[in-house]
Amino acid sequence: MKKRKLVALLAAAAMFVTMGTGCMTTKATDSAGSGDGDGKTEITFYTYNLSIASQKEAAQKLIDDFNAQSDTVHVTGVAADVMTMQTKIQSDYAAGQTFDVVQCALNQVGYYVDNYKLPAFEDVAGQAAFDEHMEGFAENAKTLGQYRDGKTYVLPYTFSTPMLYYNADLFRDAGLDPDAPIETWDDVKECGLALKAAGHEGVQITATGDGYDWLIQAMIYSNGGDVMNEDHTEVTFTDPNTVGAISMWQDLVKSGAHTNYTDTEAQEAFLAGNQGMLVTTAALESGLISAAESGGWELKAAPFPSFEGKESVPTNSGSGLCIMSSDPEKQAAAWEFIKYVTSAEGYTTITSMMGYLPLRPDIVNDERYLKSWAEEHPFVHTNLAQLERLHRWEGFPGMNGGQIGTLLNQTVTKCIFTDCDVASEMQTAQSQAQDLMP
Amino acid sequence: MSEIALSALPDLSGVAVRQQSAAKRILKRLTPFLFVAPALILVLFWVYRPLVQTFGLSIQMWNMNPNVEPVNVGLQNFQYIFTHPDFFQAVWNTFLYILLMLPFSVILPMAIAIATNRLSSRAKNIYRAIFFLPMIMPPVACSAVWRWLMHPINGLFNHLLTSMGVVEEGVRFLSDENWVLLSIVLIAGWKMIGFSTLMFSAGLTGIDPSYYEAASVDGHKKWRQTLTITLPLLSPTIMLMLMMSVLMTAQWTFAYIDVLTQGGPAGASTNVYYLLWTYGFKNFNSGLSSAAAVVFFIGFGILALIFTRINRKVAFYDN
């Protein structure tokens, strides 16, 4: 009896093993098949666009299109979860098994260069080839991936600026003219109150829910404030203009023009056609457009609103690409791939299918690329115009940089959604943050 | 080993026998340890080693980057957490979570288990399956559905509340600082009822039915039987669930906090584990995270100790 059991167990184990090897062989043939098996350099691409439902298709298309046209390189995309990406990159790096091309948030350029051994694009490609590729790239975007030494370690890839989206049907219902320009926060407040009076919801600036501070920084810069002094040794949360920006925001909420929902809730309400205005990243645009189409309401967009008498200063959300492989052959292959996805063809896919900015602005006037698309999607011009006034999304320095960003986010959340005294809250945050600076 | 020694040295049989018996004795003593060794090694490696490491990390400043040397900072991390309000807010919230969770993890499940205990076995199973169902649903999917139900404008709850005239404006279940903690407890509690009911049912099955028969013969009413037989004999289960609830509520609520509120608004729904996680895996500050972990480890350890003491006094075991 016991023996029989043992035999059965062994048989099962043997089956399991064969099954396993069976799977592995098929897998190997599969990848050889798609890689053509003729000595192409295999590289991996770690990207979070592959894990976002509305962007997955476009991200995969970029990879497939590249593989189809390249004779020397084959790229495999690996989906990254935005929240756990950093942890995984760090542990992979420790284990000496990094992905070859990695998507990294643009406020982390300093951190990446300080902590990982990244090659500069100028060195991988050669200065001349790099300069040639960067021709036609938006001037303000070029510098975002540069480190202190003036070299580019992260090539800006998918990013966007904040925009004000609004529901024209709700505007009409509230007796507002949806074609009248909305320029300042005063305009936004007025519209928000009118919407509220008509039984709809006003505006929500979705700047705090993701736990980051890029859009918070845009609010602060737009009022002439700052989060750090010039040489990045002191935080400046108590700067009168910084405090002023947050106070204005708090007033929007207090007046009722700004809803006090979680950002996800506000976004859902906007998609459902119940929320009048939403200030958010243009990366969500494709989702907003399809929601408006299926919901049967008219979506309109305005530039990121400004403070009275000042020009608004948008920041960049989003990411760039860096090369993490230390193998020269793979580095060269990675450059080929990055060159492709940041080319005119690449940005045609990125902009038309994901909604991020075409960082080669000229292609919106080019028949071969985005001209016809841009005619149907005039928002892209608004978004591109903002690129001219772009301020870098700053990352706080040192080992506690992330902690400071979270602290700023939490303090601002508290300020805008409660009746607290903004100046004193920011004062507290200032002293806490300063302790965390290196 | 000892056998080989024996055959190699046939002449010295007396010594060998003595040796053999010594070896055997040692082997005999070792045997139980050999049996538990695999489990023991795993526990040491996966539980106690990280525990010791946590203590080590708590006095260092490190961003978990393998290329960066951790800096020794002494008790600075502890000083930081004890001088900043988010720690105390998290502790207070955790206390509230524990308190509000008790009806869902002890009182209701116990009532359900007792109420369904005397039903026919099929009816009992159906009832218990209904209560158990939430337990096996993935937390993230549940969270999405609850978020829709609780949405301030589009949600079903607010639709019902406003149409019945209970409230004029939708309740912001997940963004109003006065509501958010309660909302999370409701969701986590809904999820835990099934598990607790199962535990109490198991406890009830262990009660000898002859007690009830004897009580019936003596003419005791049902409620009196519950009070004098069921509750005392269920006391070990009650104590167990009480302890589990107190020690684990912070973990049970974690997933919902993460998906629905990220601890907000302004920290109103955060708890100790979420704070730990934010320090460690959002801000990449392993020092603060470990320091807080050490404090909570000691805190929860003391609680567990108190519970086992009470348990010895209160719980009644029917041998």
Of the ranges A113-127, A242-256, A311-325, the best mean pLDDT one: A242-256
Query: Band of the pLDDT at B181, cuts 50, 70, 90?
Result: very high
Q: Residue range A292-303: average pLDDT?
A: 93
Q: Give the distance, in angstroms, between the CA of residue A220 and the centroid of all CA atoms in the same chain.
A: 19
Answer whether B21 touches A (CB < 8 Å): no
- CB-nearest to B266 from A83, A84, A417 is A417
Instruction: Output phi, psi for A208, to 5 deg.
Output: -110, -25
* Identity of the residue numbered A4: R
Distance from CA of B242 to the nearest CA of A (A): 33
pLDDT at position B11: 55
Partner-chain contact B63 A211, CB within 8 Å: no
Scanning every residue of chain B, which has its alpha carbon at the shortest distance from the alpha carbon of A417? B265
Query: Band of the pLDDT at B19, cuts 50, 70, 90?
Result: low
Chain B residues with CB under 8 Å of A400 CB are: 61, 63, 283, 285
Query: Band of the pLDDT at A34, cuts 50, 70, 90?
Result: very low
- Is the omega angle on the peptide bond into residue B265 within 30 degrees of 0, that is, cis? yes
pLDDT at position B17: 59
Model confidence pLDDT, tens digit, residues B41-84: 999 999 999 999 999 999 998 877 777 788 898 898 999 889 88
Q: Lowest-pLDDT range, A98-102, A164-168, A238-242, B5-9?
A: B5-9
Q: What number of other Cβ atoms are within 10 A of residue B121's Cβ?
A: 7
Homologous superfamily in CATH for domain B78-314: MetI-like (1.10.3720.10)
Triad B130, B131, B136: Cα angle to 5° = 90
Q: Residue range A122-151: average pLDDT?
A: 90
Print burial letters for A17-29: b (CB count within 10 Å at least 16), e (below 16).
eeeeeeeeeeeee
Boundaries of every domain in chain A: 39-159+317-379, 162-315+396-436
End-to-end CA distance of chain A: 70
Query: Most A CBs within 10 Å: which of B284, B288, B289, as the mutation test of the A interface?
Result: B284
3-state secondary structure string, A6-18? HHHHHHHHHHHHH
**Tokens linked to A295:** 């919901």
**Size (chain B), residues:** 319
d(CA A435, CA A432): 5
Query: Band of the pLDDT at B265, cuts 50, 70, 90?
Result: confident
Triad A229, A232, A236: Cα angle to 5° = 35
Q: Residue range A83-97: average pLDDT?
A: 79
Q: Lowest-pLDDT range, A17-26, A151-160, A386-395, B166-175?
A: A17-26
Model confidence pLDDT, tens digit, residues B147-180: 999 998 888 999 899 888 888 888 889 888 889 9
3-state secondary structure string, chain A? CHHHHHHHHHHHHHHHHHHHHHHHHHHHHHHHHHCCCCCCEEEEEEECHHHCHHHHHHHHHHHHHHHHHCCCEEEEEEECCCCCHHHHHHHHHHCCCCCCEEEEEHHHHHHHHHHCCCCCHHHHHCHHHHHHHHCCCCHHHHHHHECCCCCECCEEEEEECEEEEEEHHHHHHCCCCCCCCCCEHHHHHHHHHHHHHCCCEEEEECCCCCCCCHHHHHHHHHCCCCCECCCCCCECCCCHHHHHHHHHHHHHHHHCCECCCCHHHHHHHHHCCCEEEEEEEHHHHHHHHHHHHHHCCCEEEEECCECCCCCCCCECEEEEEEECCCCHHHHHHHHHHHHHHCCHHHHHHHHHHHCCCCCCHHHHHCCCCCHHHHHHCCHHHHHHHHHCCCECCCCCCCCCHHHHHHHHHHHHHHHHHCCCCHHHHHHHHHHHHHHHCC
Partner-chain contact B68 A115, CB within 8 Å: yes
Same fold, A39-159+317-379 and A162-315+396-436: yes
Print burial letters for B145-163: b (CB count within 10 Å at least 16), e (below 16).
ebbebbbbbbbebbeebee
Q: Residue range B134-145: average pLDDT?
A: 89
Q: Residue range B203-230: average pLDDT?
A: 85
Q: Is the pLDDT of residue B212 over 90?
A: no
pLDDT at position A392: 87
Query: Band of the pLDDT at A10, cuts 50, 70, 90?
Result: very low
Q: Is the pLDDT of residue A14 over 70?
A: no
Q: Lowest-pLDDT range, B10-24, B58-72, B231-245?
A: B10-24
Cα–Cα distances (Å) from A346 to A58, A143, A334, A353, B45, in that order, read 10, 20, 15, 11, 48
Query: Band of the pLDDT at A431, cuts 50, 70, 90?
Result: very high
Query: Band of the pLDDT at A142, cuts 50, 70, 90?
Result: confident
pLDDT at position A204: 95
Q: Lowest-pLDDT range, A398-402, B13-17, B249-253?
A: B13-17
Q: Is the pLDDT of residue A30 over 60?
A: no
d(CA B64, CA A1): 54
Q: Is the pLDDT of residue B27 over 60?
A: yes
pLDDT at position B14: 54
Cα–Cα distances (Å) from A249 to A227, A255, A314, A419, in that order, read 16, 10, 16, 12
- Domain A162-315+396-436 part of CATH 3.20.20.240: no
Q: B275: Cβ–Cβ under 8 A, 6 or more apart, which residues?
A: B86, B87, B90, B263, B292
pLDDT at position A173: 93
pLDDT at position A110: 86
Distance from CA of B154 to the nearest CA of A (A): 7
Give the A:B interface size as CB pairs under 8 Å.
Answer: 100
The residues with which A228 forms a beta bridge, in sequence order, are: A235
Q: Is the pLDDT of residue A25 over 80?
A: no
pLDDT at position B264: 75
Q: Residue range B259-268: average pLDDT?
A: 85
Query: Most A CBs within 10 Å: which of B61, B283, B286, as the mutation test of the A interface?
Result: B283
Higher pLDDT, residue A436 or B291: B291
Question: Residue B157 in 3-state DSSP?
Answer: helix
Residue indicated by tokens 């062994």:
A10
Q: What is the ipTM of this complex?
A: 0.74
* CA count, 13 A, side-chain hemisphere, A347: 27
pLDDT at position A21: 38
Query: Band of the pLDDT at B267, cuts 50, 70, 90?
Result: confident
Query: Most B CBs within 10 Å: which of A81, A410, A432, as the mutation test of the B interface?
Result: A410
Q: Is the pLDDT of residue A166 over 80?
A: yes
Residue indicated by tokens 């405090």:
A243
**Tokens linked to B84:** 């900043």
Answer whether B285 touches A (CB < 8 Å): yes
Q: Is the pLDDT of residue B182 over 90?
A: yes
Closest CA to A352 of A376, A327, A322: A376
pLDDT at position B43: 93
Answer whether B62 touches A (CB < 8 Å): yes
Answer whether A137 touches B (CB < 8 Å): no
Cα–Cα distances (Å) from A144 to A122, A132, A155, A395, A431, in that order, read 15, 18, 8, 12, 29
d(CA B263, CA B186): 16
Q: Are A106 and A316 in contact (CB under 8 A)?
A: yes
* CA count, 13 A, side-chain hemisphere, B173: 25
- Domain A39-159+317-379 part of CATH 3.40.190.10: yes
Q: Give the distance, in angstroms, between the CA of residue B157 and the centroid of all CA atoms in the same chain.
A: 29
**Tokens linked to A38:** 């003729």
Q: A25: Cβ–Cβ under 8 A, 6 or more apart, which residues?
A: none
CATH 1.10.3720.10 residue ranges for chain B: 78-314
> Is the pTM here over 0.90, yes or no?
no
Answer whether B282 touches A (CB < 8 Å): yes
pLDDT at position B15: 56
Answer whether B260 touches A (CB < 8 Å): yes
pLDDT at position A191: 95
Q: Are B156 and B150 in contact (CB under 8 A)?
A: no
pLDDT at position B18: 64
Instruction: Say which DSSP state B72 is in.
Output: E
pLDDT at position A220: 95
Partner-chain contact A260 B175, CB within 8 Å: yes
- CB-nearest to A406 from B175, B177, B282 is B282
Chain B residues with CB under 8 Å of A84 CB are: 281
Partner-chain contact A414 B265, CB within 8 Å: yes
